[in-house]
Amino acid sequence: MEFLVVHFPRSRVVLVDGVKNGRTEDLLELEAGTHVVSLGPPSNFTPSELTIRLRGTNPLEPREVRFEAV
C-alpha cells in the first residue's frame, strides 16, 4: 500500500477518485497508481483537483499534496 497526506488550512473531507477517503492531515493508505485528489465541499480551494502518481512511499515518508484556501 502507499501513503498520502493532504494539507489544507482547515479540516476537510478528502476525495480520492471521487470517493470519500478520510480527512486532511490524516495519513491515508491507498493503492499504488494514478489517483485524482480533491476536497469535499464547499469548493473554496485551489486547485480544484490534483492528479498524482502514488508509488514508492512508506508510512514515515508519505506523498504530500497541498490545497490552498481561496
Partner 1 sequence: MRPFRAPLGFLAALLIVLAACAHYPLNRALDPVPAAPSYEFPREANGTNTNGLFVCLVFSGGGTRAAALSYGVLERLRATPILWEGRDKSLLDEVDCISSVSGGSFTSAYYGLFPDKTFTDFRAGFLETDVEGALMTRVLSPSNWFRLASPTFSRIDLAAEYYGESLFAGKTFRDLGAGGRRPFIILNATNMATGERFEFTQPEFNVLGSDLGPYPVARAVAASSAFPFLLSPVSLKNHPAPPEVKFSREMRLAEGDFYDNRRRYQWAVNRTRYGDAVAYPYLHLMDGGLADNIGLRPIEDAFRRGFIRSLMNGGEIQKLVFIIVNARTEGQDGISRQEKAPGLKSVAMKTATVAMDNYSFDTIELIKELRDQRRQTQGVLRAFREKCPGAGAQPRLASEVEPFVVNIDFAAIKDPERRRYFLGLPTSFKLSREQVEKLISVGGELLAADPEFQELMGQIGKPGR
Residue 24, classified by CB atoms within 10 Å of its CB into exposed (0-12), middle (13-18) or buried (19+), is buried
Q: What is the CA radius of gyration of the chain?
A: 11
69 is a site residue for partner 1 (CB under 8 A): no
Binder among 9, 10, 12, 22 for partner 1 (CB under 8 A): 22
68 is a site residue for partner 1 (CB under 8 A): no
Q: How many CB atoms lie within 10 A of CB 33?
A: 11
CB of 51 to partner 1, least distance (A): 8
Residues in contact with partner 1 by CB under 8 A are 1, 5, 14, 17-23, 25-36, 51, 53-55, 59-60, 62
